[in-house]
């Protein structure tokens, strides 16, 4: 019975459209420790810390639109192939807006222009490696088995501007997974999947960089005896 419950739980988790950090390497001041999940093509997350204490509470967050020139860009993105180059060029702009909306929960956030350079706070930048919109037809017929699933993969870099140090660096990957024709609040179903994946990725970056985004353990008046 317990094995059945575990199997069903793992199936539900795998079927949820989401983004995940695929591998984690934590580098402290005196020792190294690695925690990895079972994922492919991941470079990890690298932390430059003081006695293992991670960077937090930036004064401001600056976002530079992620590079996409070398990314594989495919799947259902537009109504015609002629629009694909335009959609690829605009994807970093769309993602920067999604990321700003999420990271404003941590500190005042701003999207940088090409000629601008921050002087304080954190700089968040990176590169897309894969943007695959999948196939709505595949999701319609066999989406619950993973056919036609969208896929998004990217590399994220967070730099403490004042110190000139990369404090966090990690790979992320995910997509619509086993979502079928109906979709969910986090997956498009028969529509364009990439905008959902971009929002999911932006939210995951916020959750990664937040010490306790959901305020677990917070209570009003119950004290330990």
- So where are the chain's domains? 18-209
- Dig out the tokens for 48 from the structure: 């430059």
Per-residue confidence at 219, pLDDT binned at 50, 70, 90? Answer: confident
- Over the stretch 52-111, which tens digit does the pLDDT of each residue have? 888 899 999 999 999 999 999 998 888 888 999 999 999 999 999 999 999 999 999 999
* Rounded Cα–Cα distance for residues 168 and 190 (Å): 35
Q: Are strands 165-175 and 122-132 parallel, antiparallel or unpaired?
A: unpaired
Q: Which residues pair with 140 in a beta bridge?
A: none
- Dig out the tokens for 212 from the structure: 């306790």
- Taking Cα atoms as reference points, which of 108, 208, 111, 120 lies closest to residue 164? 120
| Domain boundaries 18-209, corresponding CATH code | 3.40.50
The DSSP 8-state label assigned to residue 115 in this structure reads T
């Amino acid at each position: 019975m317990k094995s059945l419950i575990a199997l069903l739980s793992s199936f539900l988790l795998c079927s949820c459209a989401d983004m995940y950090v695929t591998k984690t390497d934590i580098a402290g001041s005196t020792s190294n420790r690695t925690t990895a999940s079972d994922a492919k093509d991941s470079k990890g997350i690298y932390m430059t810390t003081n006695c293992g204490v991670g960077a937090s509470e930036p004064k401001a967050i600056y976002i530079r639109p992620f590079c996409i020139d070398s990314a594989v860009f495919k799947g259902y993105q537009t109504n015609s192939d002629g629009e694909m180059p335009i959609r690829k060029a605009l994807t970093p702009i769309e993602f920067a807006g999604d990321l700003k909306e999420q990271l404003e929960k941590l500190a005042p956030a701003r999207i940088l222009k090409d000629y601008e350079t921050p002087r304080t706070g954190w700089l968040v930048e990176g590169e897309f490696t894969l943007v695959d919109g999948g196939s709505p037809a595949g999701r319609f017929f066999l989406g619950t088995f993973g056919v036609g699933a969208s896929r998004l993969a990217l590399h994220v870099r967070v730099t403490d501007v004042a110190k000139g140090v990369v404090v966090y660096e990690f790979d992320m990957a995910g997509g619509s997974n086993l979502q079928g024709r109906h979709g969910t609040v986090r997956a498009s179903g028969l529509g364009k999947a990439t905008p959902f994946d971009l929002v999911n990725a932006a939210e995951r970056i916020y959750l990664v960089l937040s010490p306790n985004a959901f305020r677990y353990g917070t209570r009003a008046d119950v004290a330990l005896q």
